[in-house]
């Protein structure tokens, strides 16, 4: 359990670090990043309206768990 949690935190850190480097090196990707954030927030807000806070959090956790346990890379 602890190993999975630490792996998840490390993966989040790596995604953030790589994303920062990519956005610094390629400033043209900034509008694409902003558009992705708008879509993510819209999806999150619609999920809140449909499933509520607890359902949305469980859905996010389930998606992360399924993505983390997938053996297809």
pLDDT, tens digit, for every residue of 17-41? 998 898 889 888 889 888 999 999 9
Asked if residue 50 lies in contact with residue 59, where contact means CB atoms within 8 angstroms, the answer is no
Question: Running DSSP on this structure, what letter comes out for residue 69?
Answer: H
Confidence of residue 72 (pLDDT cuts 50, 70, 90): low
pLDDT, tens digit, for every residue of 38-69? 999 999 999 999 999 999 999 999 988 887 77
Determine the pLDDT at residue 65: 84
* H-assigned helices in the chain: 2-25, 30-69
Tally of domains in the chain: 1
Domain of residue 50, residue span: 2-69
């Amino acid at each position: 359990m602890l190993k999975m949690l630490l792996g998840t935190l490390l993966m989040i850190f790596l995604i953030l670090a790589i994303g920062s480097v990519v956005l610094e090196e390629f400033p043209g990707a900034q509008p694409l990043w902003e558009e992705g954030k708008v879509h993510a927030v819209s999806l999150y807000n619609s999920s809140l309206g449909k499933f509520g806070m607890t359902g949305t959090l469980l859905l996010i956790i389930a998606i992360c768990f399924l993505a983390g346990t997938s053996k297809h890379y």
